[in-house]
Amino acid sequence: MLLRFFSLLLSTALLTGCGTVHFDNVKMDKSGKPVATKLTAKQKKSLSELSAAIKNLGPNVSPQEATIMAHDSIVYSMVLANKYELTYPPLWHNVLVNSKKRPRGLCYHWQRDLIAHMKKKHLKTLRVIEGVAYEKDYWREHNTMVVTAIGQPFNQGIVLDPWRDSGVLVWSKVKEDKYPWKLRIWKDKKQVTNKKTVQPVPVAL
């Protein structure tokens, strides 16, 4: 079964074309802030719409924090892609990471690195939390960062997922995304997941 999976993955990678992903227009400045020297019209539109969506999470969300969250989620994801020496498609990059040919880039690497970056912002009106879909399913488990307003339920948040499109941030409301996200909680070094969840839907990885 495992051999068949990797044979299929390799065939898919060859047919769709694999290649290195690199973003020339991003860097980290001396203060540790991700900077984009140039954004495409599509990226600007995504940033503007994401900023508005985050601001609309709640009446007490700071517009400045919403802008910071949107900007850094999009730009820092591209910075991480360069840091990870990313290769397209995502599942192929996973194979390279697991075979020690790339340093990082599994979905939970993106999640944890983004969350660590956001926590340095000391945001007062927003919180970043871990989301997991298909937990403990070896072939389908997916991890990502979710942003909510302070005091807001997990299912009212927004998914911020740079893994599935190779460094290009995919974002969606938790309830509207194709993945059945749950809140992940860690307790006594053992994994416990909140039972409140969106109804599962089939996902083709």
Nearest to 130 by CA among 180, 181, 94, 80: 181
Question: Which long-range contacts link 192-198 to residues 24+ away (Cβ below 8 Å)?
Answer: 193/132, 193/135, 194/154, 196/153, 196/154, 196/155, 197/155, 198/155, 198/174
Read off the tokens for 17.
Answer: 């074309």
- Please report the pLDDT score of residue 202 as a whole number: 38
Residue 129, amino acid? I
Domain chopping of the chain, boundaries: 40-196
What's the CA gap between 159 and 121, in Å, rounded? 19
Read off the tokens for 65.
Answer: 């924090």
The string of pLDDT tens digits covering residues 164-192 is 999 999 999 999 999 999 998 777 554 44
DSSP lists the bridge partners of residue 87 as 20
The string of pLDDT tens digits covering residues 66-93 is 999 999 999 999 999 999 999 989 999 9
The string of pLDDT tens digits covering residues 9-68 is 444 444 345 788 999 999 999 999 999 999 999 999 999 999 999 999 999 999 999 999
Phi, psi of 146 (to 5 degrees): -125, 140
Q: Is the peptide bond before 202 cis (omega within 30 degrees of 0)?
A: no
Name the strand (E) or helix (H) holding 170. strand 170-173
Contact, 198 vs 181, CB < 8 A?
Answer: yes
Question: 3-state class of 25 per DSSP?
Answer: coil
Mean pLDDT of 126-147: 95
